[in-house]
Amino acid sequence: MVALFMVTVPAWGGPPRQHCLSCHSAHYEEKGKCSDCHLGNPAAGRKNIAHAGVRAGKYCRFTLGNAVQKREGEQLIEQLSCRRCHITTGRGNRLAVSLDTAAAHKTAAELALSIRRPVENMPNFVLNEELITIVVNAIYAGSLKHKTDVETPVQVHFTPSVSKEPDVFSVKCGRCHRVLSRRLGAVGTGTIGPNLSGLFSDYYPKTFKDGEAWTVRNLDVWLKNPRKIRPWSEMMPVTLTAAEMKELMEILSAR
């Protein structure tokens, strides 16, 4: 009955018709209009037009303001260290596109797909659908306060450098690792070692040893003999000249 009342356009004009209600029954009316949460085009009566960019219910959970779900999403983003490459909730490295911006321009289905089947230079986190749903909700929740931020444009060049001399990362690490570098874009082709993007930033997991972050000094110790830090490490020692070490630090810097 309520639905029938709401699709009637008042004689004085009134709010635009919510065609969603000619096919769906209403819910969460006290929290807003269908398109406040689900997006889509409420002025259209034809389903395919009304549904353009529509956000499925599971990706609208963040609109309900459940504190437990919100915390769960934030923890997952933290644990998976998405911020070593992306900004979300206004914080993170600018090595890849800002997720606050992506939330405004991509559909929920597109965001989910980007996590399910990531591009070459984003790690595959192999999350199940429920975890992907939680992460997408967290991206939306995080973008609420930050989507209007004026950002300096991201400058990432994804074609490998074409300088005459191959860079030190490609030569000494790139067989096993990848990194997004402000200076060179995507470098390296390996996947047997972790993606080292944002290694020295606050957003990289503190995996050196005993919860210690990766610093220039710690990396130096690691490269000389990884097994001294992790007896089971599969990585062999790498010898670098001082000049190579300097170049490596510049490539690994997230700024």
Cα–Cα distances (Å) from 203 to 85, 145, 209, 255, in that order, read: 8, 20, 16, 13
Q: Can you tell me which of 173, 184, 187, 254 binds ligand HEC, judged by CB under 6 A?
A: 173
∠ CA 75-81-84, nearest 5°, is 140
Size of the site for ligand HEC (CB under 6 A): 77
Write down the least CB distance from residue 66 to ligand HEC, Å. Answer: 9
If one asks whether residue 82 binds ligand HEC (CB under 6 A), the answer comes out as: yes
Count of beta carbons in the 10 Å neighbourhood of residue 71:
11
CA gap 110, 113 in Å, rounded: 5
Judge whether 61 and 137 are in contact, CB under 8 Å. yes
Q: Considering only 8-16, 32-40, 67-75, 144-152, which stretch makes contact with ligand HEC by CB under 6 A?
A: 32-40
Single-letter amino acid code for the residue at 65: G
Judge whether 42 and 18 are in contact, CB under 8 Å. yes
Interaction with ligand HEC in 89-128: which residues (CB under 6 A)?
Answer: 96-97, 99, 102, 106, 111, 114-115, 119, 121-123, 125
Interaction with ligand HEC in 199-238: which residues (CB under 6 A)?
Answer: 205, 207, 214, 219, 222-223, 226, 230, 233-235, 238
Judge whether 93 and 84 are in contact, CB under 8 Å. yes
Q: Can you tell me which of 7, 9, 23, 104 binds ligand HEC, judged by CB under 6 A?
A: 23
What's CA 14's distance to the chain center, in Å? 40
If one asks whether residue 32 binds ligand HEC (CB under 6 A), the answer comes out as: yes
Write down the least CB distance from residue 164 to ligand HEC, Å. Answer: 21
If one asks whether residue 21 binds ligand HEC (CB under 6 A), the answer comes out as: yes
If one asks whether residue 56 binds ligand HEC (CB under 6 A), the answer comes out as: yes
